[in-house]
Chain A
């Protein structure tokens, strides 16, 4: 035990110096809120982007969507989001093909280059996170 103690102390020291892995703390997260617009299967969506505990501003977001249960069967037109009302908020109108669960893909450019996939259940009123709490970033 006394022979292991210096090794253990050295290991703990190195771990303290190195700190937490950087990658997980830096990737952005997204939350999507959608309300039904006039035409069928059309939604006005607000995307809230955060990086760590701060809103992510100035991002260029291209949004596409696919249905997990019918992969590659739908070709939703990509939409470029515009800046929203608050910092880290972006707005876009999404035209889907049908109700149900959709995987919304957010391709980010600008200050951060990333690709996020979030799952939402779309109904007549709007969208809510799909079961299984898939709101977290991809």
Chain B
């Protein structure tokens, strides 16, 4: 496999974590423009763990998930009482707060005679654990996809479970779900924590793939894209956001012949998809129909 293909597949894999993060909250009925903040928390946490304290990647990833989920709970506690546009705007504001915090974060310590650590707007360089362990790009790609497959497996199992059904019910009609005995506030907070942990894991992998991160990496564009992937791919199944990422990257690559106009062409294609399929390509109706067909198949 050539380096270009590895690069494209790596980006698809990393963006899938972010898309799944936005998807989990969408299923619970909330639209968040701020998942990039937890992606950033995960990236910085994992970078600090490996580059500054020379911990292995596994420990760094677990720390990233913990802090990503924790940050999401901190944001969710005061904001999940809001709905719709108000929640969306608050998540956007919270994400900008995190980005500014990353700009203010200056913490370096000497490692092998060099200062290593976040340096405000100059970014965080030297996240080289993966490179120094001799992990080649193709091997790191495999690590990303093994983790993604495990994650998708868990999400697909949860979707088929009582918990998954309750979350969808909350997403459709929280008052009715509460009347039927669901603890809406706690389940939404749990969904937010899970979404934050997912994004944190993606951020950890991104930081080690890139070896360098800076606050600008985690601005609103990334958040808008993560939401777009989930909406384009469809909310009927956890495979939807991954499909959204594949289509997004595929459309972007396919529109190269438009040269400088490709972002305009791409935006138009995204708008067209959402006009034709408002709940995305793999929406609930299609997934339900596919499952019925599979059950009937001999």
Residues of A at the B interface (CB closer than 8 Å) are 20-24, 40-41, 62, 64, 66, 68-75, 77-78, 97-98, 103, 105, 115, 117, 132, 134, 138
- The reply to whether B11 and A117 form a contact with Cβ atoms under 8 Å apart is no
- From the candidates B7, B121, B128, B212, name the one contacting A132 in the complex (CB within 8 A): B121
- The reply to whether A68 and B8 form a contact with Cβ atoms under 8 Å apart is no
Q: How far is the CA of A73 from the CA of B224 in the complex (A)?
A: 12
Top 10 closest pairs, chain A to chain B, by CB: A21-B113, A23-B112, A72-B11, A78-B3, A71-B217, A117-B212, A75-B8, A24-B113, A68-B216, A138-B125
- The reply to whether A97 and B262 form a contact with Cβ atoms under 8 Å apart is yes
Q: How far is the CA of A64 from the CA of B6 in the complex (A)?
A: 12
- The reply to whether B126 and A75 form a contact with Cβ atoms under 8 Å apart is no
Secondary structure of the A contact surface, majority rule: loop
Q: How far is the CA of A103 from the CA of B15 in the complex (A)?
A: 19
Beyond A68-B217, A98-B263, list 9 extra A-B contacts (CB 8 Å).
Answer: A23-B112, A72-B11, A72-B14, A73-B221, A78-B7, A97-B262, A103-B212, A115-B128, A138-B125
| B187 interfacial by beta-carbon distance below 8 Å | no
- From the candidates A23, A64, A98, name the one contacting B7 in the complex (CB within 8 A): A64
- The reply to whether A71 and B222 form a contact with Cβ atoms under 8 Å apart is yes
Stretch at the interface among B61-69, B84-92, B192-200, B252-260: B252-260
- What is the size category of the interface that chain B forms with chain A? 35 or more
Q: How far is the CA of A117 from the CA of B126 in the complex (A)?
A: 10
Residues of B at the A interface (CB closer than 8 Å) are 2-4, 7-8, 11, 14-15, 112-114, 121-123, 125-126, 128, 131, 206, 210-212, 214, 216-217, 219, 221-222, 225, 249, 252-253, 256, 259-260, 262-263
- The reply to whether A71 and B3 form a contact with Cβ atoms under 8 Å apart is no
